[in-house]
Structure formats: C-alpha cells, structure tokens
C-alpha cells in the first residue's frame, strides 16, 4: 500500500492494484496518516523513506 502511494497512485488506482474497494484503500491511507501523525500524503512518504520503510 505504502509503496503504491509513494508512486503517486490515487486511492482508486491502489484499490485496483490490490483488488480491494476504493473505500478500503482510502481508509488504509487515512490510517497510515493517523498512525504516523502526518497530515498529508507527501509527508507520509517522506517519513517512510526517512525511517527506511521505503527505499530512497
């Protein structure tokens, strides 16, 4: 999920890739934002790279 978000895919595109509903994809992204205490997707991706969850 996070890798797809980092590639710039929309919730709808992520949902198609993972064979889940659009709502489920949106909720997963929202949960990632909440759990990492970030407010915007670019900040989430930057944090993920910084802590090593995603490659540079």
Average pLDDT by stretches of 10, the chain with 56 residues: 96 98 98 97 97 94
Q: What is the pLDDT of residue 56?
A: 87
Q: What is the pLDDT of residue 30?
A: 97
Q: What single DSSP character describes residue 52?
A: T
**Contact residues for 28 (Cβ-Cβ < 8 A; gap 6+):** 1, 14, 20
Q: How many CB atoms lie within 10 A of CB 13?
A: 15
Helical segments of 1-56, H only: 2-6, 11-18, 22-35, 41-51
Instruction: Give dist(CA 35, CA 13) in Å, integer.
Output: 22
Specify the CATH class of 2-51 in words. Answer: mainly alpha
Instruction: Give dist(CA 25, CA 51) in Å, integer.
Output: 23
């Amino acid at each position: 999920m996070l890798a797809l978000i980092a590639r710039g895919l929309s919730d709808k595109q992520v949902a198609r890739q993972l064979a889940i509903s659009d709502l489920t994809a949106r909720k997963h992204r929202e949960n990632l934002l909440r759990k990492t205490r970030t407010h915007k997707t670019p900040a989430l991706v930057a944090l993920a790279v910084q802590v090593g969850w995603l490659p540079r």
